[in-house]
Amino acid sequence: MSVLTALLHTNRKRFKLARTTKELIKDRARFLGPNVATFYEEPVHIVRAEGVWLWDADGRKYLDCYNNVPHVGHCNPRVVDAICRQASTLNTHTRYLHDGILNYVEKLTATMAASLNTAILTCTGSEANDIALRMAEAVTGKRGIIATESTYHGNTSLVSQLSKSNVPSVGFGLDQYFRFVEAPDSYRNPDPDGKRFAQSVAAQIEAVEREGTGFAALVICPFFLNEGFPDNPDGWLIPTAEAVRKAGGILICDEVQSGFGRTGTHLWAHEKMGISPDILTLGKPMANGHPVGGVVANADIVAEFRKGYGYFNTFGGNPVSCAAAMAVLEELEGADLVNNAKTVGDYARGRLQRLKERHEMIGDVRGSGLIFGAELVLGRTTKEPASAFTDRVINEMRQRGIIHSKLGRHKNTLKIRPPMPFSVENADLLFDTLDDVLGQLTAHP
């Protein structure tokens, strides 16, 4: 018997082709540890996907209104082909010369303002944000980071500190450098020109300067996706960007969720909000699920970061990752998916507005392009969040074959964020079902 056969002594017969749901849940706890969350009261066991559709182990079909990672559709043939072709040709690191990474960064940065001309490719959005914060420290010589209070920017020791709503119990004391401002809330606390938000940022800048930490950067998702995508008009972030620049700080836009045309009107949400960040971070949809993230900034900022620190990422920017990411850009272009996001998004919000006329629980309808949803409330006057009810809606929708979720500070906003090929027909199925579910759950509270 070979050394390895002896070492790999697992009896293959123990692997079932597919575990039952109960066995899957048990084995998750056994192999991945306790408290590893799943979605839904009755978790789904998805085995196959295509476009905007998911199938579970029993052959049941679900409409995917949630997943923004398979941006150009689950198992998109152009992306799959690109991955297969490159994986069978060459997959190596960036210490060798290769056209793939250069073609991709050229095409990517050509879609942005001239100042965003240089990129570092990583494997995750977390890695990208981790670099962005260090770039800000390198450029400003300071460490104070300001973010909004209910957001998420990743899972490394450093960037997990940005998530006040999921604050780590450990983290090497890094919390000392982070300060938070309230996220905008167009429904409960309107700030139509963004001046109040800019003032709250300015106040935190003053506080970190006064304390001696010094102000390094503001990090925001320009569309505040995790915080309920408030209905801010185009150009809303201009006063905030001015406050950051006036203080000599760095403006980091995390477009891991809002980028690549999600909002329908612009490829990048920071353009929609009227600003140009110093540093832009990217992730999730970048390569349709292949692990790719990136940081885009001016060459001067990248040089300052690299000065005295030879950042290298073994897998980052490898030929397969770049082929997958390039295929996503090509598919967005070829299938005209940003326009589709606008058209279908407009239609979907129209249907949601009409549902609002029929259902008292719908307090507010918001969104742009293929990020949209409704805030569910116990009363339109009190605007009291219907958080528990929202949970019931999501679970009932899942039972009826529609996959979506919730978000926002009160976890009462329906989070609808489907793959970009989502169609008017898909929206009809979603809202016909939602209409029915809201009616049923309101009748039987």
Interacting residues with a copy of itself between 232 and 261 (CB under 8 A): 261
| Phi, psi angles (nearest 5°) of residue 215 | -95, 120
Count of residues binding a copy of itself (CB under 8 A)?
Answer: 135
Stretch that binds a copy of itself, among 169-177, 190-198, 352-360, 427-435 (CB under 8 A): 169-177
CA atoms within 13 A on the CB side of 131: 33
Strand 53-56's sheet: what is its strand order? 53-56, 61-64, 402-403
For a copy of itself, the closer CB: 5 or 381: 5
382 contacts a copy of itself (rule: CB under 8 A): no
As to burial, measured by CB atoms within 10 angstroms (0-12 exposed, 13-18 middle, 19+ buried), residue 151 is: buried
The DSSP H or E segment spanning 54 is strand 53-56
Nearest by Cα to 343 from 427, 441, 237, 430: 427
Give the pair of three-digit tokens for residue 140. Answer: 């400003």
- Closest listed residue to residue 236, CA positions, set 268, 199, 273: 273
Q: Which of 72, 147, 174, 407 binds a copy of itself (CB under 8 A)?
A: 174
| Contact characters 178-207, a copy of itself, x per CB under 8 A | ------------------------------
Residue selected from 156, 199, 276, 387 as contacting a copy of itself according to rule CB under 8 A: 156
DSSP letter, residue 182: P
From the CB of 155, what's the least distance to a copy of itself, in Å? Answer: 6
Residue 211 interacting with a copy of itself (CB under 8 A): no
- SS3 per residue for 234-265: CCCCHHHHHHHHHCCCEEEEECCCCCCCCCCC
One symbol per residue from 285 to 324: x for binding a copy of itself (CB under 8 A), - otherwise; what is it?
Answer: ---xxxx-------x--xx-xxxxxxxxxxx-xx-xx---
Question: How crowded is residue 149: how many other Cβ atoms within 10 Å of its Cβ?
Answer: 15
Q: Among 51, 73, 125, 228, which residue sits at the site for a copy of itself (rule: CB under 8 A)? A: 125
33 versus 445: smaller Cβ distance to a copy of itself: 33
Q: Which of 47, 72, 41, 77 is nearest to 62 (CA)?
A: 47
**The one-letter amino acid at 287:** A
Contact 426, 419 (CB under 8 A): no
d(CA 115, CA 107) in angstroms, rounded, equals 15
Task: Give residues 19-38 in contact with a copy of itself (rule: CB under 8 A).
Answer: 19, 21, 24-25, 27-28, 30-38
User: Which of 265, 276, 423, 433 forms a contact with a copy of itself (CB under 8 A)?
Assistant: 265
CA dist 210 and 205 (Å) reads: 9
Q: Hey, which residues between 325 and 344 contact a copy of itself (CB under 8 A)?
A: 329, 332-333, 336-339, 342
Which one, of 238, 164, 244, 253, lies nearest residue 202 by Cα? 244
SS3 of residue 346 by DSSP: helix
Distance of alpha carbon 143 from alpha carbon 157, whole angstroms: 15
Q: Alpha helices of 227-336 — where are they, by DSSP H?
A: 238-246, 269-272, 299-306, 319-334
In this chain, which of 113, 149, 155, 238 binds a copy of itself, going by CB under 8 A? 155
For a copy of itself, which is the closer residue by CB, 372 or 431? 372
- x/- mask, a copy of itself, residues 130-149, rule CB under 8 A, reads x--xx--xx----x------
**Residue closer to a copy of itself (CB basis): 47 or 203:** 47
171 binds a copy of itself (CB under 8 A): yes
Q: Which of 51, 52, 67, 183 binds a copy of itself (CB under 8 A)?
A: 67
- The one segment of 121-129, 273-281, 357-365, 427-435 that binds a copy of itself by CB under 8 A: 121-129
> In angstroms, what is the minimal distance from the CB of 87 to a copy of itself?
5
Site string for a copy of itself, 3-22 (x = CB under 8 A): xxx-xxxx---xxxxxx-x-
Phi, psi of 52 (to 5 degrees): -105, 15
Specify the residue, 92 or 189, whose C-beta has the smaller distance to a copy of itself: 92
The neighbouring-strand residues paired with 61 are: 55
What's the half-sphere exposure (Cβ side, CA atoms, 13 Å) at 17? 1
79-108: contacts with a copy of itself (CB under 8 A): 79-80, 83-84, 87-99, 101-103, 105-107
Q: Kindly tell me which of 149 and 242 has the beta carbon lying closer to a copy of itself.
A: 149
Q: Which of 52, 78, 124, 407 binds a copy of itself (CB under 8 A)?
A: 124
Tokens of residue 385, six digits: 């969040």
Please tell me whether residue 401 binds a copy of itself under the rule CB under 8 A. Answer: no
CB of 13 to a copy of itself, least distance (A): 12
The one segment of 48-56, 344-352, 380-388, 432-440 that binds a copy of itself by CB under 8 A? 48-56
